[in-house]
Amino acid sequence: MVLTLAAACGSSATTTTTAAATAKRAAAHHAASTGPCRQSVLDVAARSLHVPPTSITTAVGTGNDGNPQCTYTTRVGGGKRVSLNADVYSGPQPYFVLERTIEEAAQPFGPKRLSPAPEAVNGVGLVASWFPNRNQLMSTDGLKIVTITVAWPGATVGREIAVASEISRPYLKVLTPKQAQAVANGYPCGCE
């Protein structure tokens, strides 16, 4: 009788271990598709930078602003180190926060502009702007703000914007026109 009970316990423990392993794999898959470091973004980065995906390292962290972030790092032709930092803000009113950030950065607070104004970038989310003084592209789908900071010595601004745009897109949800209008007006869109 004791042997049967021990066998049952061993079987149960095996089932629990298998269930725990399955849950762990499912959590890892979910994190890889929704966390700050995503396989889809790594693949896009590899294509944009013309390097194999295996040459890109990732580091998950938390930004100075408390948002989750991922840093993608590799070396491109000539051995130049490229670092792309993706910061994902999921707080309240991302559309309005980004609009206000763009507007404030565009205003000269004095007779002479001390930093260049943000440049609108079309085709990335609902709203996107390049902030030249920070080497950052900020974009939103109305549900989150994605900030991509580019550190790429010797790259042209156009190339930095293009790569940052490509890296932003996998983070952003594509909304229907009706959902986009609801988000832009501050209403729930049912698209979370």
The 10s digit of each residue's pLDDT in 142-167 is 899 999 999 999 999 999 999 999 99
Sign of CA dihedral 113, 117, 157, 139: positive
pLDDT band at residue 175, thresholds of 50, 70 and 90?
Answer: confident
Output the six-digit token pair for 192: 């979370």
User: By the 8 A CB rule, do 94 and 72 touch?
Assistant: no
Domain extent listing, the chain: 32-184
Residue 116 CA to residue 110 CA, distance in Å, equals: 13
pLDDT band at residue 29, thresholds of 50, 70 and 90?
Answer: very low
CATH class given for the domain over 32-184 = alpha beta
> Residue 2 pLDDT more than 80?
no
The 10s digit of each residue's pLDDT in 68-109 is 999 999 999 888 999 999 999 999 989 999 999 999 998 877
Percent of the chain with pLDDT over 70: 79
The separation between the first and the last C-alpha atoms of the chain, rounded to the nearest angstrom, is 54
> Residue 38 pLDDT more than 60?
yes
Mean pLDDT of 48-57: 95
The overall pTM is greater than 0.95: no
What residues contact residue 169 under an 8 Å CB cut-off, 6+ apart?
A: 44, 124, 125
| DSSP SS3 for 76 | strand
Residue 185 CA to residue 100 CA, distance in Å, equals: 14
What integer pLDDT is reported at residue 17 of this predicted model? 46
Residue 152 CA to residue 51 CA, distance in Å, equals: 14
